Chains A and B, each alone.
Chain A
């Protein structure tokens, strides 16, 4: 019975994916572009060479960290829209910590470690703020999250154009780059850090264990399912709400730290690269099941990397990948909704 339900669930998901692809194909046809070629370019653009596969994995790292964090807040019934700001604060804290080590003579490994921890703290604090506003201020986390995202962006822009600017330069391009030894070591001839990959996998594993096999995870889920009932049954729901925010913020902050130490080596205006919002899509698409986070995050990363070939070869805008990413979630949710309706009638 359970297995049957799984098969039906998977089938429904495949229908959703098929509809999303058909939708994108229709858009392409309407604009006079060849849909099959475009979709095949997305795939070859992502998997056509070792370098590209490596780029896909590297892109999936921060996305996976953000997704893992969001699975915790979703489990607790929270819409953590503020994740973008939490990634950004993570990046700011990481850059700030690493700047302290410039010319300090400390081993780079220590600096990087402190930078990463600082990033997690930054993300955790920013998330805690959203949590406290919800618990003590009665502010819905969606509104506070949006607000905190704006504040985080403003802080970034201020730092870039102000205290952390390149000497003599006033450019929104980014801050003074950090010394190259403060970047995570990369694999030879590849743009990827094994450390970053390991961290993201650890993040997923931790969330899997937390939600599957721990008492805390159970209480988080209980809070998410029905906060009032949980409270009545003796679960301190406020505390668990805050715990969910902080745990998500730690992982989001780590994603920001990875953006700094593995990709940009400085602070740039869009340091989060939109991975927070994308993580929301991934979490919804996998129906909040941790185990699917890795393949789906890889798939979304593949769309990002593969889409670069669209403007080069077909003169199509890369934002098509974004359309596909959004459409996938939309259609899968629609199919879910339809199933729900049918079940209620049946």
Chain B
């Protein structure tokens, strides 16, 4: 027994000696926790690419990351525990990249007041918001996808022949309600104003899978939900989940002879998977925000902020400036592409599609005629809008 103990100690010492050194001493180490795989062609990859961009454009920085940070893939762990694993490897700041990590991000920031934390997609730092937590080291970042989804909705409305648009929704919360509603408002605007059709002739249906991506046996399968749309006359599906099933299944249906399209989401290169059916991608570009924030952190001048930047229409195609934009896909018709350009210049000129009268799905007036939604009304949209099919809140 004593020999066994000795052997164990020796193995442990050998392991300690062999273990690779932690991150380089003087570099500023960016720790990134991603909810999905780093190469998901979607939400998580957009973060991964942005942090790589920061390390390439900011001297003396490096990245460490852990992906698939979710209870299905990393059973028995919590996001704050996993953030501490990055801390052990020398992380000087942590990015929590998912709404799902909200509690973990707050817990971690509370326990490590000296480590700057960015929670992507949260509202803890928003003083006017409903969930304000005054922590000196916890900031939020979320590109203004609400405005980009207007364009995504327009792309769908300009393309549909059946007048039926599907929305592949993730889980239901404030964020997904307002993004889905934005896509609907953009679709309705282009359907009526650009195509001259009747608003009542546009069907817009949301089906939710229950999480940001497929968890077999737990969520609805996004592959089946997409197929269900394409098989039932919804010839354009707008994707709202972290991964690309909507696009992949559009491609499969097109190869079988159907005329269907998908509007991709999250990632600038998403369309490359299936360019023939991709109308474009509504892109989160985290590069400018992360570069600015991490530059300040490295210099020691950072303060936590609530960042929710609208599209920078003056520098729309400049990835160093603009945090969210719509990249048209090759499947987009010339006429549709022209309509999108027109919409973009209208939005740049001050067009607000969140203008009243807007009713909630159950008919309750939400934005009165002549008024526009405040940022709080937009962020905390309590239901889908009148004219949209699908669940507003879980039943």
Chain A positions near chain B (C-beta within 8 angstroms): 36-37, 39-41, 43-45, 47-49, 51-52, 55, 59, 62, 153, 157, 161-162, 165, 168-174, 177, 189, 191, 263-264, 268-270, 273-275, 304, 308-309, 311-313, 318
Contacts and interface: CB of A to CB of B under 8 A. Distances in A.
B77 A308 contact: yes
| Chain B interface size, under 10 / 10 to 19 / 20 to 34 / 35 or more | 35 or more
Given A43-B11, A191-B81, 10 more contacts: A40-B16, A40-B18, A44-B16, A161-B394, A168-B172, A170-B171, A171-B172, A172-B218, A312-B66, A318-B74
A37 B18 contact: yes
B215 interface: yes
A269 B215 contact: yes
Contacts of A177: 103
A264 B82 CA distance: 14
A169 B211 contact: no
Nearest to A165: B394
Interface stretch (B85-93, B149-157, B304-312, B340-348): B85-93
A174 B173 CA distance: 13
B211 A171 contact: yes
Interface in B184-239: 208, 210-211, 215, 217-219
Interface string B1-32: 00000000001101110111000000000000
Contacts of A165: 394
B108 to A, nearest CB: 11
A171 B172 CA distance: 6
A173 B171 contact: yes
Contacts of A268: 71
Contact of B391 (A157, A170, A173): A170
Given A37-B20, A43-B12, A308-B82, A48 B76 contact: no
A162 to B, nearest CB: 7
A264 B81 CA distance: 12
Nearest to A306: B15
Given A157-B218, A269-B71, A168 B173 contact: yes
10 contacts: A157-B218, A162-B394, A168-B173, A170-B393, A170-B394, A171-B171, A269-B71, A312-B64, A313-B20, A313-B89
Nearest to B87: A51
B171 A309 contact: no
B172 A49 contact: no
Interface string B379-395: 00010000000010111
A275 B84 CA distance: 23
B15 A172 contact: no
B215 A312 contact: no
A169 B67 contact: no
Nearest to A308: B85
Nearest to B84: A51
A264 B11 CA distance: 34
B210 A161 contact: yes
Contacts of A191: 78, 81
A64 to B, nearest CB: 13
Interface in B56-80: 64-67, 71-72, 74-78
Contacts of A275: 76
A59 B75 CA distance: 10
B100 interface: yes
A308 B18 contact: no
A232 to B, nearest CB: 42
B49 interface: no
Interface in B91-118: 100, 103, 111
A44 B15 contact: yes
A36 to B, nearest CB: 6
Contacts of B18: 36-37, 40
B211 A172 contact: yes
Given A36-B18, A263-B76, A47 B172 contact: no
B16 to A, nearest CB: 6
Contacts of B210: 161, 170-172
Most chain A CB atoms below 10 A, which of B11, B14, B75 = B75
Contacts of A269: 71-72, 215, 218
B78 to A, nearest CB: 7
A173 B170 CA distance: 11
Of all A-B residue pairs in the complex, the 5 with the closest CB atoms, nearest first, are: A170-B394, A170-B172, A171-B171, A40-B15, A273-B76
Contacts of A274: 75-76
A155 to B, nearest CB: 13
B173 A171 contact: yes
Contacts of A59: 76
Contacts of A308: 66, 74, 77, 82, 85
B75 A270 contact: yes
B56 to A, nearest CB: 19
B78 A48 contact: no
A312 B172 contact: no
Contacts of B64: 312
Given A172-B215, A312-B86, A48 B19 contact: yes
Contacts of B85: 45, 308-309, 312
Nearest to A45: B85
A274 B74 CA distance: 11
Nearest to A259: B76
Contacts of B173: 168-171
B159 to A, nearest CB: 29
Contacts of B218: 157, 172, 269-270
Contacts of A170: 171-173, 208, 210, 391, 393-394
Nearest to A269: B218
Contacts of B11: 43
Nearest to A307: B74
Contacts of B382: 168
Contacts of A318: 74
A76 B181 CA distance: 59
A117 B174 CA distance: 37
Contacts of A153: 217
Given A48-B19, A161-B210, A269-B218, A169 B394 contact: yes
Contacts of A313: 20, 89
Most chain B CB atoms below 10 A, which of A55, A162, A177 = A55
B71 A40 contact: no
